[in-house]
Structure 1
Amino acid sequence: MNIFEALREDHDTQRILVDSLVKTEGDSNARDMLFKQIKVELQAHATAEERHFYVPLMGYDMTQEKSRHSVAEHHRIDKLIGKLETLDYSSAAWLVEAKKLQHLVHHHLEEEEQEVFQLGGRVLAEQEKRALGTDYEAEMESQREALSS
């Protein structure tokens, strides 16, 4: 699997999780479980993607600005997750912030897939795309394990 295929697969998972999260209600086991799961997925993804996609792309003039922008969006997502952690699941504010997270995640993933992937596809060689995909998947597995324990 190349880097773009691996990222798209994880993007699909993130969309499903964040969309499911905002459909939960109150201080429920479902909300708790989904929030913990999306938190792990987003944090693991950000780390793996930055190391095995954005760092290599920053080496090219054509992709440097978009890469930096995407990394900045990862930090905005982290801040929203942090804010959600401080709020009670049953508060109205929690759902408001969860919907902000949903919007930002969807925006971020669409921007990556529509803009960054196109540019990245032009600067990365086929062999590099495959190697980055392998490295990304291994990093995701490692990050998921570390964050879940």
Structure 2
Amino acid sequence: MTIFEALRQDHEKQRLLLKILVQTHGDTAARRDYFEELKDELSRHATAEERHFYSPLMEYDGAVELSRHGIAEHHEIDELLEKLDDTDCSSPAWLRYLKQLKEQVEHHLDDEEQEFFQIGGRLLKEQQKNALGAAYQEEMAELA
């Protein structure tokens, strides 16, 4: 599996968790459980992605700014997760923050899939794509 396939697979998990969470109501065990799963998924994904996708891309002049942008978006997502953690999940503010998070994450995933993957596809050799995919998946499993 290439790095792009591995990332896209995890992107789909994140989209699904966000979709489910937006449909939850009030301070329920399900809302808390799905949110914890989403936080864990986003955290592991960001760490492994920065190591096994952004870092290798930064070796190429044409991808440095793109990689920095992606990493900055990870930090914005982290800040929204902190706001959600600090807000009672039954409050209307929690749902507002969740919708902001959904919008931010989906924007980030779309950026990666529509722009970053194309640039990475041109810059990385086939062997690198496969090796990075394996390393990414291994790290995701270790962080679980």
TM-score (norm 1): 0.96
RMSD: 0.5
1:88-103 equivalence runs, <5 A:
88-103=88-103
| Displacement after TM superposition at 1:143 (Å) | 1.4
| Displacement after TM superposition at 1:105 (Å) | 0.6
Counterpart residue number, 1:119: 119
SS in 2 for 1:122: helix
Where structure 1 has 5 or more consecutive residues not aligned to the other structure, the ranges are: 145-149
SS in 1 for 2:24: coil
Aligned length: 144
Q: What are the Cα deviations for residues 118-139 of structure 1, in whole angstroms up to 9, with x where unaligned?
A: 0000000000000000000001
Counterpart residue number, 1:12: 12
CA distance in 2, matches of 1:60, 1:4: 17
The question of 1:137 aligning with 2:137 is answered yes
TM-score (norm 2): 0.99
Give, as a single letter, the amino acid of the residue that structure 1 aligns with 2:41: E
SS in 2 for 1:26: coil
Give, as a single letter, the amino acid of the residue that structure 1 aligns with 2:72: A
| Displacement after TM superposition at 1:81 (Å) | 0.4
Counterpart residue number, 1:72: 72
Q: What are the Cα deviations for residues 89-120 of structure 1, in whole angstroms up to 9, with x where unaligned?
A: 11000000000000001000000000000000
The question of 1:59 aligning with 2:77 is answered no
CA distance in 2, matches of 1:125, 1:41: 28
SS in 2 for 1:53: helix
Where structure 2 has 5 or more consecutive residues not aligned to the other structure, the ranges are: none
| Displacement after TM superposition at 1:30 (Å) | 1.0
Determine what percentage of the aligned residue pairs are the same residue.
57
